[in-house]
């Protein structure tokens, strides 16, 4: 249906589109595959759910753990079904990202990359991008422009890609680059420390 110059999607069509996303498929596999590997992931999934936005956590709990329909969740929370679908897709993508990205510490970055980066601040930018995936959050924290953060992040990544023994770091920061803002609104002052602790341990 078209209203003015906007095309209105049928909620079921929208749900089908989001359900095909990699994150949703990944989450579904954890809950539908009766494998030892899937069961082994459950404690880690539970831990990650603790740090995603509360509404997303509630939706994941109800949809995946309790088997509620999206329409029922929408009615309970007084939101639209497409909103539930979008939030589930977003939550699934965040959870997949946090479960799969290799874990490193700030100390590892400082130690392993000492002398390789162009400036001392570049290590801080790498760490903050790792914990937030958000250029604007890093820029605000450091009191610099987003353009500077992006330039130095990409410059550092290019340096890492030149050294085979740093392949893990190249993989990590390429993953961050491909998932910019995936942790956005998980890193407010009240939750940033929690997210960092989760990523580190």
| Alpha-carbon distances of 2 from 5, 6, 50, rounded to whole Å | 7, 6, 40
Q: What angle do CA 29, 30, 32 make, to 5 degrees?
A: 60
For residues 15 and 72, membership in a common domain is answered with: yes
For residues 96 and 164, membership in a common domain is answered with: no
Among 25, 29, 51, which Cα is nearest to 41's?
Answer: 29
pLDDT at residue 187 in the model = 54
pTM above 0.85, yes or no: no
Residues in the chain with pLDDT < 70?
A: 1-21, 32-35, 38, 187-201
Q: How far apart are CA 70 and CA 110, in angstroms?
A: 45
DSSP lists the bridge partners of residue 2 as: 7
For residues 159 and 175, membership in a common domain is answered with: yes
Domain enclosing residue 7, as ranges: 2-100
For residues 96 and 111, membership in a common domain is answered with: no
pLDDT at residue 4 in the model = 40
pLDDT at residue 64 in the model = 87
> Which domain-ending residue is among 100, 128, 161?
100
> Which domain-ending residue is among 100, 132, 167?
100
pLDDT at residue 42 in the model = 80
């Amino acid at each position: 249906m078209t209203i003015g110059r906007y095309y209105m999607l049928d909620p079921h069509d929208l749900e089908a589109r989001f359900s095909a996303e990699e994150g949703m498929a990944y989450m579904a596999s954890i809950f539908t595959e009766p494998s030892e590997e899937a069961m082994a992931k459950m404690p880690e999934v539970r831990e990650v759910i603790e740090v995603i936005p509360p509404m997303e956590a509630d939706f994941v709990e109800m949809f995946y753990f309790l088997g509620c329909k999206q329409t029922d969740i929408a009615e309970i929370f007084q939101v639209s079904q497409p909103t539930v679908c979008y939030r589930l897709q977003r939550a699934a993508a965040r959870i997949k990202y946090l479960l799969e990205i290799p874990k490193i510490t700030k100390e590892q970055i400082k130690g392993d990359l000492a002398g390789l980066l162009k400036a001392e601040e570049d290590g801080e930018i790498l760490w903050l991008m790792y914990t937030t995936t958000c250029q604007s959050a890093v820029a605000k924290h450091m009191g610099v422009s987003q353009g500077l953060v992006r330039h130095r992040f990409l410059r550092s990544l290019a340096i890492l890609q030149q050294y085979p023994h740093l392949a893990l770091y190249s993989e990590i920061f390429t993953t961050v680059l491909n998932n910019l803002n995936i942790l956005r609104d998980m890193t407010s002052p009240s939750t940033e420390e929690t997210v960092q602790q989760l990523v580190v341990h």
